[in-house]
Amino acid sequence: SSVALEKSLEGLRACRGAIDHQGSAHPFTLTDYYQEEMGRELERSLVSFQLPASPDELVNLKHECVELEQALADEAGHRTANLDAGYLDHGKLVLASLKPAGQKIYLGRGVYADLVARYGGGKYCPFEWTFPDFTAGVYDEDLALIRQLYLQQLRS
């Protein structure tokens, strides 16, 4: 819902500071994984922050997101938002996960690094295990803009 999104953004800003990119909301229809807990009309958007986080903060980022999800849960304990922490750099896109899988590398405190795309040919190219909406290119434009912001941050 738009209320859950606004509260999520408010919480993320409180943890991580100003947002420098907020992508459009895209229908989250290529999986029904969250449908039972969160309903049918789900959307996903990408955000990035002015202050870049170091990759070694990924464990803390994931736990901040989990705490925020819990704070925003409804009376029954169901999440109203699903917040995925991650980072990109010039060569890859990595998301934090609490679920183990063959391609994921354990970082600590229950968190795994999930390499979901590598940069090549002018875009982030997904792997066979990457989420369907990333594989379908739904966020390619957002990722390109966030990458530009990241490269500008490196130069300054």
55-96 pLDDT per residue, tens? 999 999 999 999 999 999 999 999 999 999 999 999 999 999
Write 95-101 long-range contacts (CB < 8 A, 24+).
96/58, 96/59, 96/61, 96/62, 96/65, 97/62, 98/62, 98/66, 101/129
pLDDT at 30 (0 to 100): 60
pTM for this model (two decimals): 0.92
Q: Is the pLDDT of residue 120 over 90?
A: yes
| Averaged pLDDT of the chain | 93
Q: Is the pLDDT of residue 12 over 90?
A: yes
- 66-80 burial, b at 16+ Cβ within 10 Å, e below that, comes to bebbeebeeeeeebb
CB 124 within 8 A of CB 140: yes
Question: Which among 143, 152, 153 is positioned nearest to 52, based on CA atoms?
Answer: 153
Q: Is the pLDDT of residue 36 over 90?
A: no
